[in-house]
Structure 1
Amino acid sequence: MFNFEKYDTIIFDFDGVIIDSMPIRESGFRNIFSKFDESAVEELVKYHNLNGGLSRFHKIRYFYEQILNMDIDDNMVKSYAEDFTTMMREELSNPQYLIEEIVEFIRRNKDIKSLHIASGSEHEELNYLCKKLGIDNCFKSIDGSPTHKNYIVKKIIELNGYDKSKTVIIGDSINDYDAAIFNGIDFIGYNNVDLKNLPGAYYLDTFA
């Protein structure tokens, strides 16, 4: 069994770690871009799955600029993101999507360690979902996009004066690993076998 005793602070990703949201978010992108060519949308879904830690704002812009080769302004990005948020609030507030073994781990450790969420999910939506799901009181802070995850984690460490050697990120995407490397802290991969064998990282198949 992996030993968490060395860590005083644990920073969690949200999607794919605390909640099994990836299929719901895939559906969200297909819905907001339903008028576009299906193959282009599927290319975005593939990009989304490979980059779970990136924000919807980035992915919406990526869809237009890199896949469609079209311009998109900030107002259009915001409009698409708001439509996406509305769908996610309705769907993901259902506790059936919570990953039970992680939630149990969080509840066991919330009074022992400093727990935080750093997510690519939109900040207000993220806090709404955590409150609706009854897990918001388990965390010292809950932060999401549009701030990049690298800087969310940096802020968590600096504001609280955490010892980096006793701080770890648990994530399911390469972006979580990158945030750990950027901030000089440990990384534990979970729920994504592609993260196994990353240099300097750990991987857990289960928290049960």
Structure 2
Amino acid sequence: MKITSIFWDFDGVILDSMNVRDWGFREIFKDFRKSQIEEIIQYHRINGGLSRYVKIRYFYEKILGQAITEEKVLEYANKFSELMKMELIKKENLIQDTISFIEVNYHNYNFHIVSGSDQNELRYLCSELGLSKYFVSIHGSPTPKFNLVETLMRSYKYEERESILIGDSLNDFEAAKMNKISFYGYNNLDLMSVGNGYIESFEHLNLQYL
């Protein structure tokens, strides 16, 4: 099987951002009880591939048991995004194992980012971190990841058997599965038993033999 197109998750695969995003959720919800904040942190960690919009709604509807308007969701999401733009432009947060592979191979494959992160924020971070030039396109929430992949597969007429998604969460696996493309886990040992394989390191990796 010859791989021609790779869909990359962002957080946990390209950028080591979990602790920063934990902090961001704690900040935007700091006026609530500690136990409630820790509940949303756990949900966030388990569902890394989901967008902040989903997580904010979950916090209100499931943890607080309250309704929340779209305007309020956007207010929280925008506040969260401003915090992320300040903290995640530091290059020391980049996962060098992945970055080295991307820098060497971006001419050899069609690289796309499909992320649960806010799309505007994501494109800002990629620009600030000098990553934009490596990707054909960069996409994020609020569009769900499986829809992003579906649209790109159709728009670029990619072959399912020649396309893979690399991610660090079960949500990434589900997005690949729904689009009938291969999934390879990375940076999350819980994914070793799902998908088509697990990438321990990109060093010396030849994707044509996956």
Identify which of 184, 193, 197 aligns with 1:202.
197
2:119 pairs with one of 120, 123, 134: 123
Q: Please list every run of at least 4 consecutive aligned residues from structure 1 whose deviation after the TM superposition is greater than 3 angstroms.
A: none
Letter in 2 for 1:56: R
Counterpart pick for 1:91 among 87, 109, 113: 87
The answer to whether structure 1 residue 172 and structure 2 residue 163 are counterparts is no
1:53-68 correspondence to structure 2 within 5 Å:
53-68=49-64
Match of 1:110 in 2: 106
| Per-residue CA distance 1:86-115 (angstroms, 9 max, x = gap) | 000000011110000101111111111100
CA distance in 1, matches of 2:4, 2:149: 15
Q: CA RMSD in A?
A: 0.8
SS of the residue corresponding to residue 193 of structure 2 reads coil
How far apart in 2 are the matches of 1:78 and 1:93? 22
The equivalences for 1:157-196 within 5 A come to 157-196=153-192
Q: CA deviation at 1:201?
A: 2.2
1:16 to 2:12 alignment:
yes
Asked if 1:137 is matched to 2:133, the reply is yes
Q: Structure 1 vs Structure 2: percent identity of aligned residues?
A: 46
- Kindly provide the CA deviation profile for residues 10-58 of structure 1, in whole angstroms up to 9, marking residues without a partner as x: 1100000000001000000000000001011101000000000000000
Aligned amino acid, residue 205 of structure 1: E
**1:150 aligned counterpart, secondary structure:** helix
TM-score (norm. length: structure 1): 0.96
Between the two proteins, the alignment pairs up a number of residues equal to 203
How far does residue 204 in structure 1 lie from its aligned partner after superposition?
1.2
- How far did residue 188 of structure 1 move? 0.4
Counterpart amino acid of residue 66 in structure 2: M
Task: Map 1:22-101; keep pairs closer than 5 Å.
Answer: 22-101=18-97
- Secondary structure in 1 matching 2:57: helix
Distance 1:39 1:117 in 2: 34
Q: SS of the residue aligned with 1:196?
A: helix
Does the residue aligned with 1:108 lie in a helix, a strand or coil? helix
